[in-house]
A and B are shown apart, each in its own frame.
Chain A
Amino acid sequence: MNMETREVNGTVVVELHGEVDLQHSPKVRKLLMELMLDRRDVLVDMSRVAYIDSSGVASLVEAYQMSRRNSNRLTLVAVSSPAMRVLQLARLDKVFSIADSVDAALGG
C-alpha cells in the first residue's frame, strides 16, 4: 500500500493506493490522526483502494470522530467498488461524507 498527500487550496488530499489491511492501516491511522490533530480539512481519495478490511475502516472511523469533535472536514472521495462494499457492510456509507471526485468535494 502507498499513500500520497498533496495540498489543494488549503485542503489536504490523501491518496490511498493498494490494500489497506492490518499490516498497513496503522500508517493510514497515524497520518490521518496527525492531520486531524492539526485541524486540517482532509479529502481521502479512495479511487485506487483495491481492498480494505475492518482495521482500515476503523482508521477512517477514528479520524472521522476526531474531525467531528474538532469541526474540521473529512471527506471520502471516489470510493472504489471494493471499498464501498466494505463501507456498506459496516453501514458507514451513510455516515461518512462521500464525494464523487476531488473537484466535486472542493467545489461543493
Chain B
Amino acid sequence: MMLDRLFPARPDRLCDIRRAVAEASDRAGCDPDTVHDVVLAVDEACQNIIRHAYKGGDGDIRVQMECRPGTLVVRLIDFAPPVDVAAIRPRPLDDLRPGGLGTHFIRTVMDEVAFLPPPEGAGNLLQMTKRIGEP
C-alpha cells in the first residue's frame, strides 16, 4: 500500500490530502500531468464526501492508494450514512453554470470510478483507478 491515512473531512485539510496523494502518485512513477489529474480527482471526490456524505458535519476520510502493474488504485472510505449513488451524476457541460463540475472532472480524468461495498463499520467506499506507465 503506497498510502493509507485517515484525514478529517474538512475543507482546510484538503491541502494535506492533495499533498499526500501527489507524493504517492509521484512515487508510483506517474508523470506530472497524471499526478495533477489524480490529485484533482481525489480532491473533488473528497469534496463530495464533505458536502454530500457528512453534509458539512464532522467525520473522517480514509485515503488508500495502491499500485498494481500499470494501474494506480485509489480508495476513499468514509463513515457517513450510505449515499444515494444514483443522485451523483455529472451535469451536461453545455449548460454553463457554476457547480456540478467535480463529478465530471473525476469521470474524465480517471479510467474507472465505482462505489464498492464498504468494509465493516464504514459508510461508503469509492474506488477510482488510473492506468499509468510502468515506473
Contact = CB atoms under 8 A, between A and B. Distances in A.
Contacts of A61: 96-98
Interface residues of B, number: 26
Contacts of A85: 33, 36-37
Contacts of B75: none
A12 interface: no
A31 B129 CA distance: 37
A60 B107 CA distance: 22
A53 B43 contact: yes
Interface string B73-116: 00000000000000000000100111111101100110000000
A90 interface: yes
- Interface class of chain A by DSSP: helix
B101 A57 contact: yes
B44 A82 contact: no
B44 A54 contact: yes
Contacts of A65: 96-98
B34 to A, nearest CB: 11
Interface residues of A, number: 21
Nearest to A82: B36
A22 B14 contact: yes
B33 A23 contact: no
Nearest to A86: B40
Nearest to A63: B98
A86 B128 CA distance: 19
A100 interface: no
The winner among B40, B43, B98 for most chain A CB atoms within 10 A is B98
Given A23-B14, A58-B101, A53 B44 contact: yes
A23 B101 contact: no
A34 interface: no
A21 B98 contact: no
B11 interface: yes
A58 B105 contact: no
